[in-house]
Amino acid sequence: MKPRYIWIGILIIVAALLAGCSSAAQTQEKSTEPVKFTLETTPAPPVAGKNEIILKLEDQDGQPLTGATVDVSADHTDMTGMTMSGPATEQEGGKYAITADFSMSGTWKITVYVRKEGLDVKKDFDLKIP
Ligand SMILES: [Cu+2]
């Protein structure tokens, strides 16, 4: 008798896990990215010193996202407290640009904040300066 009870218990646990998985997958399907980010630099690849960071933003339908407020922060992840930030300037075609002076090589975490009407999203990029 005892082993049978154990099996029933295991089956209930497996059923609960499967239910958890399927509901998680459903929520993922629903949350399509509201903004598509493309990050480019001039020069490419980026160098130590001044670079232009260009963010190309598209909405859910693949149309250029214009009229947004875009702020960019850069954090030298190899060190603490080495962070800079500023607003990006809108250009044509859903592009936003900001000049960043990377005083040191290494990995910089670029965080982009996009706000427009009901939209408030952010995205991180890792930029490696050789
Ligand atoms: Cu540094």
Domain boundaries, the chain: 35-129
- Taking the centre of ligand 1 as the mean of its atom positions, its distance from the CA of residue 99, in whole angstroms, is 17
Does 16 have pLDDT greater than 90? no
- Taking the centre of ligand 1 as the mean of its atom positions, its distance from the CA of residue 69, in whole angstroms, is 27
- Torsion over CA: 21, 23, 29, 35 (sign): negative
- Taking the centre of ligand 1 as the mean of its atom positions, its distance from the CA of residue 104, in whole angstroms, is 5
- What tokens appear for 31 in the block? 């949350």
Q: Which of 29, 28, 122 is nearest to 68 (CA)?
A: 122
Band of pLDDT at residue 90, cut at 50, 70 and 90: very high
Does 29 have pLDDT greater than 60? no
Angle of CA points 123, 129, 130, to nearest 5° = 150
Judge contact between 79 and 103, C-beta under 8 A.
no
- Taking the centre of ligand 1 as the mean of its atom positions, its distance from the CA of residue 78, in whole angstroms, is 6
pLDDT at res. 32: 67
Q: State pTM to two decimals.
A: 0.75
Band of pLDDT at residue 23, cut at 50, 70 and 90: very low
Q: List the single range of 16-20, 74-78, 105-109 with lowest mean pLDDT.
A: 16-20
pLDDT > 90: percent of the chain: 73
In sequence order, the 6+-apart residues with CB closer than 8 A to the CB of 10 are none
- Taking the centre of ligand 1 as the mean of its atom positions, its distance from the CA of residue 82, in whole angstroms, is 6
State which CATH number among 2.60.40.10, 3.90.230.10, 2.30.30.230, 3.40.50.2300 fits the domain covering 35-129. Answer: 2.60.40.10
- Taking the centre of ligand 1 as the mean of its atom positions, its distance from the CA of residue 36, in whole angstroms, is 29
